[in-house]
Every structure is written in structure tokens, then in C-alpha cells.
Chain A
């Protein structure tokens, strides 16, 4: 078991929250904030939240206030505000920190606290929970206040609206895979992530096939856990660190081979692990870990997947586009690689769907706590896709994928959404 993570340090928190005062209230971020663009309410844009965080830090507003928590929950952490801010104010990071600081744990429901602190960090228990269906149990989640932003990204059966809920797999990918013999001399280690493990093992399998096809031998550390991004995003202090420690330890034996993650939200968060720790030992171990992380598209591109001349044409799609996950384009600066990979696919036309880099509206737990707005944000994204007459949307983030699945279903559209690995997996005999 990994050692306890360092407790939360108010000084460093102050530093980040203090950056809220660097906002000069110019309003530029209003033009890109996906939530503000739908609601038109200042409370929903970075500018409003930053001014509120400033007031709360100065104790002009009670940090225990319910409305404060609700307002900071209205954010996708998409980073669009930070990207456009002429003063380089890291809006999303400050809002995340505010959630952590103001969401005192006392406000969480007991079952949820238990799940987060005692189950998520331990894959074996997670499997048990999965089997019993406990984590998805309506009773567990009903008690989570929507404004705390504390919801899990998985699809829940408790939804009042007829949200499309993919079935859980009978056998989690990691469990199935753990029965196989690990390669003696692996050249990459695979990070699987929760959604693929519990909901879409087929995507993980496509990834494995592609890597195998490129003659890359892959090791999948069985002890790996959830990347912790949703816990981090909702500001649940400590749990995200615990998960990070678990993963760092799980991949250490394979140092220095690259760690490949095929969910871009995961890869983005894994690359940021060192930021989670203040204490020297863990910071260094985390840094070593993070430097090895590659997003799937980045890794495939470097491995030259796009240069193969003997790929067979794909016939499941006519016109496709790539939906940039915020965690890929903004947070990792990866733009060209997935495009080059898709353009190498024969038989389909690759089209761009708008210069705007629109968010899909998923935002980790956002689409659960604010479903209606999330769907509106999705519709704006959908309009740009429909205009380009696309039949397949390809992406590389499980959050985006789930969002598209539900959104396309709600809107009754005959457009498919696929993970990058699923499309690339069709280009050679498997």
C-alpha cells in the first residue's frame, strides 16, 4: 500500500487562489466559455467565478455557502478561458482549486465519501464493487448534492431523464487480461482507465491489436487504478493523490518504457501527476512517471502508424472528423497527430468541423450535475458537425465519447461516434 499522501497545504492553495486577483475583468473569456455561451449568466463564466473566489478568499463571502459551491460547480474545466486570457490567468486551475478548498469534506454524503476513499484506490475492491453493481447503485448517488459536483463520470441508472446508458461489461478488461502472460521484454506499458475497463473493453482490445500490429509488445500492470481526474476535478482532496500514488507505484517496475494512455483525459491528467505533490519524494517519482506518459495518438504518430502503405480501406465511414478533446488539444497541445493518423485511413474523407474548438459539454462530472446545459453545449458542437455532413465523429477521450453517444441518441441523429483506436483498428486484418 502506498504511503499516505501529504495533507493539503493551505499556503500553496492561497497562491493559486490568489491568482484570481490577476483577472482584470476584461471579459474576453466570456466569448469562449461554453457554459456562459449557453446561459449568458456571469456566474457561469470564469470572470464571475474568479471574482467570487477572490471575495471568498478575502472572507467577504462565506466559504461554506451553498450558492458558492453551486457556482463553482458550473464549469467544465475545459481551459478555454485560460487559453484566451491575455493575462495568462489559469481560470480552470483556479476553479478546480476552489472546489477543493471550499468543498469541505463534511458536505459529502457518507456513502460517496466511503466509495471515493476506500474503494476507488483499490482495484481489487473496485472489481468487487463493480460485480455487485454498488457503485452504480441509485441509492448511493441520490444523496450526492448536485452542487457539490460530486458525481462519478460513469453512466448511472438513476437518471430521471432517458439518458442513454451503456451496459457495464461482464468482465472488466483488466481482470480478463491479468490471466494472460506478460511479455518478457515489453516496449510500452498500457494505462487502461475506468471507462474502457468497465464499459468498453473492446476499445482497449483494439488498442492492443494496433500496438501488436506495429510489433510493439505491451505490458499492462494489473495494479493500476483510476487516473483520478474526476476526483481531482471535483476537488476531493487526497483521493486524487492516492490514486496517483497507486498508479505511479504500479508502473515503476517498467521504467523507462513509455506509458501509453488511450483516453486523452487520462493521459492529460497522468502527465500532470507531479503537480499534485508537494513533498519531494513523491514529486520526483511522479515527475519520472509523467515524463513517460504518451497519449495514444502521439505514441502512434511517433511510431509511424500513418506511414504504413499496406493499410486496407475502411468501409464503415464515408466522411469523418476528429473531435478534439479539451484535454488533448488545450491541455496537451496535441492537434496534428490524430489528424495525420486519420488522413492515412483509405476510403474515407477527413473533414474539419469548425475552427472554434468547441467543447462537447461533458466536463467530467459536469454532464451529470448540469445535464440540461451540458446537452445544450453538445447541440452547439453538433451543429458544426452536421453542417460538414459528417457520418462519423472520431475522438480519443472517453468522456467525449460517452457525451456524443448520449447526445446523438437524444437528438436522434444517424451519426456514429468512434474511438480513434476503433477506426484505426479496421485498417488491417485482426
Chain B
């Protein structure tokens, strides 16, 4: 609980209209896409880095947690106020400050929604490739904090690859900048990269310097459907091996197709067991040539129907369907345990196979889909946690899946981050020494542990 005095100080900093402490408002800031509930003590909507700095100084003095929040669409609980405190929403820092068409760079505030920024950039003939499935509603600040990525990662990389510099506020209140506004820069440690992906635990980002690329001349979308899952995963491996790098290469299994079809009917044959959505981009001639070769690989590997989107609307609607999968899975069971494992791409058929085995062993509903092209698969264990024993079963299965992933040379999270949902598995992947080093870094940035405490590392650092 915050003291009355503290609340009135906060109100003085951000203004009475930009703080809420009523129970009703707090409920609306108690969750993210993990769908767990933790009530904060207050929600604030600061206007700029100056106000954020004042809030953090107060937090250090009065010892209360501050939890940055973008759109609250995180998949690892990053913005949940698990120990109470103040949720700091970036919705008022929502200006695109500059799109520099001479230098192909942009400067934005963290509350700008990713997809809206992309639209503005594309109006200038430029391109910002990172494309999490949540792009229409997640913020660039949240994308930076989680180092979000999407289908484009395969060819273009993830958020990290486009951030050249940051303005941020330290947990102790100092405003600082990192990085450069140029294409290159090696002066000192790369603090930019440290903060990107730090899940709001090291600093609050208040300005983001981004690099852009020219917009590809054209894009083309292909959908290939398969009667068995192995054929689909083999196709992915063959395409990669064939030295064509699609701009997107996404995979869906039967269950995910079924769920998303209730939202948007794709008119697929009922014996469809797996589906690949592939996008190629570049100049017209190359794209056509690559499309022919990709289609041939799909057929060779056993796809029984390969369709090309006839126009951009058709393509867009296919990608819209792809973006709707994750939430639509709740139709199967109310609780989703959502993993986003990554394996070397050649190991995809293997890991899918192992997951299939684990699924049968535990008699669990496990749905897989994701960025097959870069080896990042979203594995979702769908349970009804009101049924006794389900949660424990799912936890065991999760652990086994993680073991398989690590043995295959993979990693536990490709893009959603650790937050609270995976904190207890951190030691499975990282050696003790490395975790200790990370905790030391956290202590240097945040000596009083007030910024988004309890995340990444289990408990206090």
C-alpha cells in the first residue's frame, strides 16, 4: 500500500488527471496477455522523461516498485505488478518525432504503436521490418523491452537489429542516452543492446532511435497445405537449404488451424494437418522466380495444395489470420501455458516429433505454430487449471519440452521474454555464473530494486 502522502506527491508530478487509485481503474491495469491478475496501488500516465525521472527518484526515496507498461500485451507477465506499486503507462509518450528520409532513420517515443509507425514509415517508401503478431496494438517501447520479433526475423532480424540508440531513465532517476544516430558506432560498451530485451528491469525507455530500410518493391504470399506434419516441417528445412530466404515462413498445426478457422474461415479441406504460410519479397522478377521454386519444393515434399494470394487484400487477410491464432486457442481450454522455444532450423522436424510424443505421453492438448523459418515455435499447452492435477502435468511436460530443446541446441524463449512465467526455468539454460553476472548488472542499475522487481530472476536479486 502506498502512503497517502506518496500518492499526493505522485499526483503533483503527473497531474491529478494522470493518476488513478480507484479500485476500478486498478483492475484495468492488473493484467497483460498472460491473463493473470495483480492489482497495483496506483496507475500513472506521465507526459515525458522529466516526469518519469521525478517518479523514479520518489520511488527510490519511498521504496515502492515502478512497473513500466506499454500496451500490456506481453506474454511473460513483464508488466504485472506482482509486488504492487505503481504501474507507469507510456500511452502519453506517443509521438513519432522524426522520420528522416535522407538518413533512413527515425526517432519515436515508446508509446507509439508498432503497426502505426510502420504505416507512417511506408508512406515514405521506407520499411521497419520487426513484426510481432501483436504489431497492431503493442508499443515500440514494449517491443524494445522484450526485443520482439515476428515472421520477418527470418530475413530481416528482430527489434534489436533496428535500434541504434535510446534515451532512457535510470531506476535512480537520471536521464541518459545510449548509442548513436549513425549507422555505426563502437564508443564504449554497447548499453543499447543491454537495455533492448531487458524487460523493463534496467531503465525506462523514453525515446527510441531506429534505423529503417527501403521498402521492398513487391511481396507475394503462398499458402501450402499438408496431410501430415512431418511433410510440412521437412518443407521448411528444404526451403532454407535451397538458399531462398523468404521474408516470412510460418507454420501452423492442425489444432491451431481449427481454432483460427472459427474466427476466419479459410475453406481448407478437412484432412489438412499442417499449413505453411510463406512470403517472398524483393523485385518483381526475383520474387516470381523464387515463388516458382518454393512452390515446387512444397509439392515435392508432399503439399497437396499450393495457393498463391492473388492480390494484396488476399495476402493481408491470410496474415491477419496468422496474427489471430494465439488468442483463438482459448477455444480449446481456458488456460494457456505459452512457450516460445527456438531450435536450430534443421532440428524442427525432430522437435515437433518429440513434442508430439510428450503430448501423447501426458495426454495433453499441445498446439504448435510459429516462425518455422527461424526455428522459433510457439508451443501452447492448453489446460483447464480447475481440473486437479492438470497444472502439475503441464509443468512436467513443459520441463521435458525444455530439456529436449536445450539438448537440440536451442533456447527457451525466442521473443516473449522470461518475465515471471519462465523465471523458474532460467537456471535450466543459463549457468550459475552467468545468472550471477546478470544480477550484478541489475544491482548496478537499480540498487534499491524498485524498477519492475521480481522479473527474469526468481525473487529478489
Point out residues on A near B: beta carbons under 8 Å. Answer: 21-22, 24-28, 30-31, 40-43, 48-49, 51-52, 55, 60-61, 65, 67-68, 71, 85-88
Contacts and interface: CB of A to CB of B under 8 A. Distances in A.
B262 interface: yes
Contacts of B331: 87
B260 A42 contact: no
A88 B33 contact: no
Contacts of B326: 26, 86
A65 B24 contact: yes
Contacts of A67: 22-25
A27 B33 contact: yes
B370 interface: no
29 contacts: A22-B330, A24-B33, A24-B35, A24-B327, A25-B32, A25-B33, A25-B35, A26-B33, A26-B73, A26-B327, A28-B134, A30-B137, A42-B29, A42-B72, A48-B28, A51-B37, A52-B28, A61-B27, A65-B24, A67-B24, A71-B24, A85-B263, A85-B327, A86-B260, A86-B263, A86-B324, A86-B328, A87-B263, A87-B330
Contacts of A71: 24-25, 28
B254 interface: no
A291 B336 CA distance: 41
Contacts of A30: 71, 137
A68 B27 CA distance: 11
- Lowest 7 A-B CB distances belong to which pairs? A40-B91, A48-B28, A26-B327, A86-B328, A86-B324, A31-B136, A27-B73
A61 B94 contact: no
Interface string B325-337: 1111011001010
Contacts of A31: 113, 115, 136-137
A52 B263 contact: no
Given A25-B33, A27-B137, A30-B137, A51 B72 contact: no
Contacts of A48: 27-28
Contacts of B111: 40
A51 B27 contact: yes
B138 interface: yes
Interface string B76-97: 0000000000000101101000
A118 to B, nearest CB: 33
B28 A51 contact: yes
A52 B91 contact: no
Interface in B250-275: 260, 262-263
B72 A27 contact: yes
Contacts of A22: 330
Given A25-B32, A31-B137, A52 B327 contact: no
Contact of B31 (A51, A68, A85, A86): A51
Interface in B81-122: 89, 91-92, 94, 111, 113, 115
A23 B328 CA distance: 10
A367 B304 CA distance: 53
A315 B139 CA distance: 47
A87 B328 contact: yes
Contacts of A65: 23-24
Interface of B: 22-25, 27-35, 37, 45, 71-73, 89, 91-92, 94, 111, 113, 115, 134, 136-138, 260, 262-263, 324-328, 330-331, 334, 336
A61 B330 CA distance: 25
Given A24-B330, A26-B73, A61-B23, A42 B28 contact: yes
Nearest to B138: A27
B110 to A, nearest CB: 13
Contacts of B25: 43, 67, 71
A24 B336 contact: yes
Contacts of B71: 27, 30
Contacts of B37: 51
A68 B92 contact: no
Given A26-B327, A30-B71, A51 B30 contact: yes
Given A27-B72, A27-B73, A51-B28, 18 more contacts: A21-B334, A24-B330, A25-B32, A25-B72, A27-B33, A27-B137, A30-B137, A31-B115, A41-B45, A42-B29, A67-B23, A68-B24, A71-B25, A86-B260, A86-B263, A87-B330, A87-B331, A88-B263
Contacts of B260: 86
Nearest to B115: A31
A60 B25 CA distance: 13
A107 to B, nearest CB: 16
Given A27-B73, A40-B111, A51-B31, A86 B327 contact: yes
A60 B336 CA distance: 24
Contacts of A87: 263, 327-328, 330-331
A41 B91 contact: yes
Contacts of A55: 27
Contacts of A25: 31-35, 72
Nearest to B330: A24
A145 B331 CA distance: 39
A85 B328 CA distance: 8
Nearest to B113: A31
B35 A43 contact: no
A219 B249 CA distance: 60
A68 B32 CA distance: 20
Contacts of A68: 24
Given A61-B24, A61-B27, A28 B72 contact: no
B444 to A, nearest CB: 33
Nearest to B136: A31
Nearest to A70: B24
Contacts of B35: 24-25
A189 to B, nearest CB: 36
A61 B115 CA distance: 35
Nearest to B75: A26
Contacts of A42: 28-29, 72, 89
A22 B30 CA distance: 17
B79 to A, nearest CB: 11
A40 B94 contact: yes
A40 B32 CA distance: 15
Contacts of A28: 134, 136-137, 324, 327
Contacts of A51: 27-28, 30-31, 37
B262 A88 contact: yes
A25 B37 CA distance: 11
Contacts of A21: 334
A25 B262 CA distance: 19
A112 B444 CA distance: 62
A129 B271 CA distance: 64
Contacts of B32: 25
A63 B3 CA distance: 27
Contacts of B262: 88
A150 B27 CA distance: 25
B68 to A, nearest CB: 15
Nearest to A67: B24
